[in-house]
Structure 1
């Protein structure tokens, strides 16, 4: 062994029953190295709370979670080894390594194991791990893209030059050419194709070998087989003579395939890039307020509860609540809505949004991985890791198709040995290339990636892999009422003055009485009057279930429901019938009713249009609510919905939903994501209205970051469009192979034409997916 680290990892692999690693790996990882004392000290720094604050999430009591970037991942066996080894460590709860972006999500119990120990174990395996950051991830992605472009450029140069040489060879077959010139042109072709085969096509070999070792025949197996067979055959002809060389076909095949893969990778990465770009908008410095002084500090030095200043025009540095000031904030990065949002004391703000008008003093509630935007990136990453049923089916079909293709190719090759030996290599290459299942494997992922990118730009965050597929089949939508169809904030819609007072005087009295109240309706009164204008209240008292009372300027007043004061009971019946669905609050003195406040939870601005749009599409609509019958019927009448259910507890809502499903409906549930958790989980697909800092905790399939209801029909339409594009892509891929295969097997398609046809079919699939805008 080169060091004690290698000896330790070898012993750990054997002792833990992981010897299968040696049969699964397809490339050697970086060498493990001794963890020297200085190295251990560096790793120990990651256990410091101040450092962990920037990337470690507290997911429960003593439960921690972090996202790391693993360097040195070369194949699927590397992923397997890291996951299996780390999961066997005491205290490690879960490990998920994403092979596509080399990102590892690790959860552990801090009482049993430290983060530095986990990092040490990863290093002993021969890999390096460091905390994930959007900037580093972007740098790695750009590095991979640069390498892909280099491969594409080499393939392009090689293909162009070998095609020029092939023109001479093909022309010579007609007009005559000296044998020495043919040999010279073939040697030039070999030299030009060598970089293409050894550098540009290397990803195909690695992926094919990984598939073979894991007993999963992927689409790279016939690709690699075609390139290697064509190159060996061409080298043989160059050295010993023969009819044809295939350097031009190799170059074109590799070029077109790399170009298609680059397009597909771009489409697949758009959704995660869109989310990660949000994180890059967060500033690195903030103005912290301490003892009346301002100081510039790194954002990662901020603690929960710190006070920071956001000046007009600046990007807000951390999640927080407004402590002082009033201003409008641009949250378009999160919601997709260009309209500024007014923020006043008590309101939540999100890191990365822009303060537009006045200075705001904020109390920090989240930094680093504990911000809303970081939570969104985690949800996007999780959604990408989940495959919908149709994607899994397409992958399985492609695998079986690859096996069938290889068997068919062998049969065709044997048949042509008896028909015409000189045509065997041409035919075999044409069959391998023309029917490569690239288009079939790309049909679904390309559509899902394009749709996900489109939705997140609109402020629609898909958090489950199956959601897009299910959206296409939804034929019934169930809405929660409070906070979903309505704004969830009761407001005073009208003031009916019954005595010799003005409406403004009644507002002041009502707000004064509600000063100390924490009832949900109290905010509707306190928001109508400035706190500085409120008179002092003596003998303030809260009467549960009735209202509040107090003495203002020597006069006793009460504010509450119709049964709270004898004066209000006399008039209550007349006004309750005049305002169906509203809450009436009565302001009275000791002898008479002074005013009636009409409170309603207003409908969202887009509620009527959303319901109308769904109805025109033939989608059934129901409303579930825990509110009383009168209020629910009032909302239903305003929206034109007849299937209404009131006074519903969570278990009642679940029973109603299940009854709708038993009738054969595919149900989408739209709720607040918190109180409606059981019914959201039971629906085939669920939407949650984003609620500021709660967005990262939503358990729904889709989160409406824009908080707009009209995004529900938009998401349903995108789901249908996506399923349509998937079916078009699958039909095209299957039809192309069914049509092209007989022609290739019968010798009517040359290898270079097969490469062109295969590449065009893959490009059609990707470009068709990119139509999802």
Structure 2
């Protein structure tokens, strides 16, 4: 007797478990499914009109982890395995641009859909910038599957590209402008036909004339509902299809209910019509969205100017200085060693060194510094700077993709992907608020049906229309976007979403000394020889050891060696101990250069005395002290004002320095810092900050240099000086692009202003809804006045946030 074969899942082909009750209607017939996952994917494919996939396929869909990657379009698979998305930890990370984002419900839907996929570890969408940061394990899911999953719930997404974002905003602005124009025209024309009914007294308007005006109003309202209101209906449809309640749902229901009731009243010839309310509501809400879109374009303006800072072409010498023949080439083809001719007024296409000519460069785009900076042969010029005076020849040191401006653009485009806690709270509240609103509108309509049936419909419409979850959802992201854009314009690149919120709450502000409170350009004041090697030889050895160092003190020693026209003995076996010094072999002999304790481990005994109020860098070898370099570093001109700002705010200011305690005390005394701790190795700095945190402090750290990387990562919020080592900037939450210390105080002031605006926006949204919704529910507000209130509420929140851009 033949066994009865088990039914197969119509989607993936696996056996259907006994007692399974999962089915999807495909091609007019119920199809068996093995699990709710296959049922959900199959239903989504049918819902988006792709049921033909099942008739055209050549095999079953992938099972288990691959179930969500079915029917992935070929153009999306091109992104799989792209090296651009490889993260530092070996996983994958991408910033995506998502189209069609409206509100917190969109955020909830997008994030929830992606986090449900196997292998996705993070999905964070910023409603203000439309950027989605997502991380995943490449072995379990691919980027094409993530993009396709978003498409199945109605959102087109692409790897973030500035040009695409700008084009998307321009396209959205054009479409929204046309819809706004049609809605405004309809509103004005409808008002002309309903005005006589409002102004006429009893018996002044005969029935035929009233009916004619109603029918005219109906015809004039149709374009506003069918065309201008499309964004609300499409958004609501996408939400309902994904079994979510977005903020477009009550708006669409309000428009449909008011229009449907008015059509019914017009056909019957009795009852109230709301054509004027419908057209006014659509127009005002579109005006509010136009204002929101305008704010987004403003926020993208700084990035757009930066993106256009690098020229597309460059004038390259065929063989310089042997030949003066030049040709215009694509800037992207430049490589290290090429020589390019840069005319006055042109931008430098790549990082390089002036090979011939003198000029002044405008660094405003990169640093915010308005005064042109002189550059002479041998001096470095960053890509993106403008040649402000004389024509020069530039020797390229880095290709365009690695230029200063390109790196800065990459940082800017990565920033702002996640949301601070206050924004997450607002998203959660707004999402729940929308569902509660629909229930309240239903209850209000039912209650009025028993009290006064004629008013039940208008009251339900008014409740749907008057609420403003949009204001609640936009209150935080709009303010943060405006504040971070304002800071970027000043030269502060905010890398992490919590910077403004945490900086505002910080109780302790900790500063490094060298390169942070000081200018970062120390100079050797004197050199004292103590051993059997003369002073010039000691300088030569020290220069060899520090030749590759990025530390400001090391650069000061190298600068002294170059000033003496010493071209060097090679140093081998170099090793650097962060916060201590360098060790290496020069001409067959081992040396150490660094602080006293570090060198003493090789030289033995105690360090020779150093000059007061200077940083002492010792040179020693086996059993012998050779020299002491006395180095001074002037204070930054804005250090005093910056410290005074934080002290006036009631925050405790602390100085942590790797220099001797006497030097740290001298700097602290000049700046009015109460606590100064010297002789701090990186581990001690880290321990000190962590101890403050264990005691309940919220620590803001400002540092510069490789030895600050660990403590910058550990602090609650951290700033790196723009001229510091790249490792420190990577570990910081924000970067001061042109190294002006006063920008930290500016950031703190902007953070305070942003938090005030956020609190004002949230308070206004809560108070408005708490007053307006009950007023509409008890019949005090009609549909048209409710529409005015909702649009005005959203506009007020956005306008209040935009004030931050002009601080």
Other-structure match for 2:365 = 333
For the structure 1 residues 279 and 596, does the alpha-carbon distance in structure 2 shift closer, same or farther, using more than 3 Å as the test? same
1:83-125 per-position Cα deviation (integer Å, ceiling 9, x unaligned): 699987xxx9999888887778788999999999999999999
Other-structure match for 1:623 = 655
**Contact 1:264–1:766 at 8 Å: present in 2 too?**
yes
Greater mean alpha carbon deviation, residues 681-690 or residues 539-548: 539-548
Other-structure match for 1:162 = 190
CA drift of 1:245 comes to 0.9
- How many angstroms apart in 2 are the aligned matches of 1:747 and 1:61? 59
- How many angstroms apart in 2 are the aligned matches of 1:119 and 1:742? 42
Corresponding residue to 1:447 among 479, 494, 512: 479
Other-structure match for 1:195 = 223
Corresponding residue to 2:613 among 571, 580, 589: 580
Other-structure match for 1:20 = 40
Corresponding residue to 1:468 among 491, 500, 507: 500
Residue 298 of structure 2 aligns to a residue whose secondary structure is: helix
Residue 405 of structure 1 aligns to a residue whose secondary structure is: helix
Matched, 1:177 2:208: no
Structure 1 residue runs without a partner (length 5+): 1-8, 36-41, 497-505, 551-558, 565-571, 587-592
Structure 2 residue runs without a partner (length 5+): 1-9, 15-32, 58-73, 529-533, 575-580, 588-592, 600-606, 620-625
- How many angstroms apart in 1 are the aligned matches of 2:596 and 2:442? 88
Corresponding residue to 2:302 among 271, 274, 277: 274
- How many angstroms apart in 1 are the aligned matches of 2:39 and 2:713? 40
For the structure 1 residues 120 and 161, does the alpha-carbon distance in structure 2 shift closer, same or farther, using more than 3 Å as the test? closer
- How many angstroms apart in 1 are the aligned matches of 2:282 and 2:507? 45
- How many angstroms apart in 1 are the aligned matches of 2:628 and 2:572? 20
1:711-731 per-position Cα deviation (integer Å, ceiling 9, x unaligned): 111111111111111111111
Residue 384 of structure 1 aligns to a residue whose secondary structure is: coil
**Contact 2:708–2:728 at 8 Å: present in 1 too?**
no
Matched, 1:704 2:736: yes
CA drift of 1:80 comes to 8.0
Other-structure match for 1:499 = none
Corresponding residue to 1:310 among 339, 342, 348: 342
Corresponding residue to 2:665 among 633, 640, 650: 633
Scaled by the length of structure 2, what TM-score is found?
0.75
For the structure 1 residues 25 and 540, does the alpha-carbon distance in structure 2 shift closer, same or farther, using more than 3 Å as the test? closer
- How many angstroms apart in 1 are the aligned matches of 2:188 and 2:568? 88
Matched, 1:762 2:794: yes
CA drift of 1:542 comes to 14
**Contact 2:122–2:134 at 8 Å: present in 1 too?**
yes
Residue 502 of structure 2 aligns to a residue whose secondary structure is: helix
CA drift of 1:746 comes to 2.3
Residue 303 of structure 2 aligns to a residue whose secondary structure is: helix
Matched, 1:652 2:684: yes
CA drift of 1:289 comes to 3.6
- How many angstroms apart in 1 are the aligned matches of 2:89 and 2:155? 30
**Contact 1:32–1:127 at 8 Å: present in 2 too?**
no
Aligned ranges 1:204-603 → 2 under 5 Å: 204-292=232-320, 293=323, 294-304=326-336, 306-320=338-352, 327-343=359-375, 348-358=380-390, 359-368=392-401, 370-492=402-524, 518=546, 523-524=555-556, 527=559, 534=565, 576=610, 579-583=612-616, 599-603=631-635
Residue 398 of structure 2 aligns to a residue whose secondary structure is: strand
For the structure 1 residues 140 and 740, does the alpha-carbon distance in structure 2 shift closer, same or farther, using more than 3 Å as the test? closer
- How many angstroms apart in 2 are the aligned matches of 1:539 and 1:724? 58
1:170-209 per-position Cα deviation (integer Å, ceiling 9, x unaligned): 1235462121222221122122211211222221222223
CA drift of 1:382 comes to 4.0
Other-structure match for 1:500 = none
- How many angstroms apart in 1 are the aligned matches of 2:153 and 2:253? 32
**Contact 2:217–2:275 at 8 Å: present in 1 too?**
yes
- How many angstroms apart in 1 are the aligned matches of 2:424 and 2:596? 61
- How many angstroms apart in 2 are the aligned matches of 1:71 and 1:541? 55
**Contact 2:11–2:38 at 8 Å: present in 1 too?**
no
CA drift of 1:227 comes to 0.7
Aligned ranges 1:663-682 → 2 under 5 Å: 663-672=695-704, 674-682=706-714
Other-structure match for 2:170 = 142
For the structure 1 residues 535 and 400, does the alpha-carbon distance in structure 2 shift closer, same or farther, using more than 3 Å as the test? closer
CA drift of 1:300 comes to 2.0
For the structure 1 residues 11 and 456, does the alpha-carbon distance in structure 2 shift closer, same or farther, using more than 3 Å as the test? farther
CA drift of 1:689 comes to 1.4
Q: How many residues end up aligned between the 2 structures?
A: 719
**Contact 2:352–2:394 at 8 Å: present in 1 too?**
no
**Contact 1:23–1:213 at 8 Å: present in 2 too?**
no
1:740-769 per-position Cα deviation (integer Å, ceiling 9, x unaligned): 233222222121111112222222222221
For the structure 1 residues 391 and 134, does the alpha-carbon distance in structure 2 shift closer, same or farther, using more than 3 Å as the test? closer
- How many angstroms apart in 2 are the aligned matches of 1:453 and 1:635? 34
Residue 286 of structure 1 aligns to a residue whose secondary structure is: strand
CA drift of 1:417 comes to 0.9
1:332-362 per-position Cα deviation (integer Å, ceiling 9, x unaligned): 1122221233446676543322122441423
Residue 698 of structure 1 aligns to a residue whose secondary structure is: helix
Corresponding residue to 1:727 among 755, 759, 769: 759
**Contact 1:450–1:769 at 8 Å: present in 2 too?**
yes
CA drift of 1:378 comes to 4.2
Q: What is the root-mean-square deviation in Å for CA atoms of aligned residues?
A: 5.0
**Contact 2:339–2:393 at 8 Å: present in 1 too?**
no
**Contact 1:514–1:548 at 8 Å: present in 2 too?**
no
- How many angstroms apart in 1 are the aligned matches of 2:193 and 2:500? 49
For the structure 1 residues 596 and 11, does the alpha-carbon distance in structure 2 shift closer, same or farther, using more than 3 Å as the test? closer
CA drift of 1:664 comes to 2.7
Greater mean alpha carbon deviation, residues 119-128 or residues 294-303: 119-128
**Contact 1:491–1:600 at 8 Å: present in 2 too?**
yes
**Contact 2:539–2:557 at 8 Å: present in 1 too?**
yes
For the structure 1 residues 731 and 696, does the alpha-carbon distance in structure 2 shift closer, same or farther, using more than 3 Å as the test? same
Greater mean alpha carbon deviation, residues 67-76 or residues 271-280: 67-76
Greater mean alpha carbon deviation, residues 675-684 or residues 595-604: 595-604
1:475-503 per-position Cα deviation (integer Å, ceiling 9, x unaligned): 2101122221123332145799xxxxxxx
For the structure 1 residues 493 and 239, does the alpha-carbon distance in structure 2 shift closer, same or farther, using more than 3 Å as the test? farther
CA drift of 1:435 comes to 2.1
Other-structure match for 2:29 = none
For the structure 1 residues 235 and 124, does the alpha-carbon distance in structure 2 shift closer, same or farther, using more than 3 Å as the test? closer
